[in-house]
Amino acid sequence: MTTWASRYFIHPHSLTSIFKKIQDMGITIIPSGGAYDTADLMHFWATRGEKKETLEIRRKVKTETDYDRQLFILAGLPGIGAVQAIELLKTYGTPMQVFSAFLDHSPKNFPIKGLGETRVKKIRVLLTNNLLEVEKTRMIEHEFKEKVSLLYKILGAKEAELGKTTKVDLTPMLRERGLKLTGNKPVLVARLLDSMKLEEKVDIKRFVQVYNELRNSKDRHHQIPRDLALFYSKVTK
């Protein structure tokens, strides 16, 4: 597919979308290395009932030129097809000069016919955005939220554990602590939690570990929730 795409200056993503729609229609697609390979396959299928022959795929040597590769690079830009790629290369000479033209010219008055303001703006964004930095920021944001969520889970672990029990399960725990047995389940759970020491309700060592990881990895604009910060101060005095 890549060879075919580069020959006709069509980006592989476009072909992938087309082939996906064909497969959705129930039509089977069998990939091959190129036109010669496809011809071999068709010949084999057409004659295998008549002749005893084995299938041998011939590997075609790539004959792409640097000019083909330059056009393929330009055809990968948003909204740029084969015609625009040829025109851009003819006008500016090299892909690097084409990229410079997209940055130097106003999107409203780009000199190549057929390239409007919206398309040129998209290309400028693609050429100038530091996507690695964007992805890094997203990962930091995700990690921050995950750790904050984990800290709240650590704080509420005992309550969640008791919440999964029944009143019958809670009765011996209440008796062991000399607590009243009256009330509905939420009342009994709250009564048990109130009677417990902090160390019984929270894995303090784990909380401190995760909190320190959060503090060391967070970005400068991240604010740790105040209740978590206060609890950390309380248990690390």
Residues 143 and 227 in one domain: yes
Higher pLDDT among residues 46 and 52, named by residue: 46
Residues 87 and 154 in one domain: no
Q: What is the pLDDT of residues 85-126, one digit of tens each?
A: 899 999 999 999 999 998 888 888 888 888 888 988 989 888
Residues 168 and 153 in one domain: yes
Phi, psi of 207, deg, nearest 5? -60, -50
Residues 145 and 114 in one domain: no
User: Domain span at residue 144?
Assistant: 135-235
Higher pLDDT among residues 21 and 142, named by residue: 142
Residues 113 and 142 in one domain: no
Structural domain includes residue 180: yes
> What's the gap between Cα 222 and its chain centre?
22
Lowest mean pLDDT, pick from 16-30, 104-118, 122-136, 147-161: 16-30
Tokens in use for 36? 């010669």
Q: What is the pLDDT of residues 216-227, one digit of tens each?
A: 887 777 889 999
* One-character DSSP codes across 132-189: HHHHHHHHHHHHHHHHHHHHHHHHTHHHHHHHTS-HHHHHHHHHHTT----S-HHHHH
Residue 82 has what pLDDT?
83
Residues 155 and 186 in one domain: yes
Which pairs from 26-31 meet CB under 8 Å and 24+ separation?
31/1
The C-alpha atoms of residue 208 and residue 188 are separated, in whole angstroms, by: 29
Structural domain includes residue 55: no
The C-alpha atoms of residue 204 and residue 216 are separated, in whole angstroms, by: 18
- Straight-line distance from the first to the last Cα atom of the chain, in angstroms, rounded to the nearest whole number: 64
Has residue 63 got a pLDDT over 60? no
At 45, the pLDDT band (50, 70, 90 cuts) reads low
Number of domains present in the structure of the chain: 3
Structural domain includes residue 59: no
Has residue 56 got a pLDDT over 50? no
The C-alpha atoms of residue 159 and residue 202 are separated, in whole angstroms, by: 10
Residues 76 and 38 in one domain: no
Domain end position, chosen among 79, 108, 129: 129
Identify the CATH number of the domain in which residue 81 sits: 1.10.150.20
* pTM of the full structure: 0.46
At 59, the pLDDT band (50, 70, 90 cuts) reads very low
* One-character DSSP codes across 183-229: S-HHHHHHHHHHHS-HHHH--HHHHHHHHHHHHHH--TT----HHHH
Residues 33 and 118 in one domain: no
Residues 163 and 227 in one domain: yes
Structural domain includes residue 54: no
At 141, the pLDDT band (50, 70, 90 cuts) reads confident
Tokens in use for 143? 């990690």
**Residue given tokens 């009765």 in the structure block:** 171
Residues 118 and 150 in one domain: no
For CA atoms 168, 169, 170, 175, the dihedral sign is: positive
**Residue 7 DSSP class:** H
Average pLDDT over residues 167-190: 94
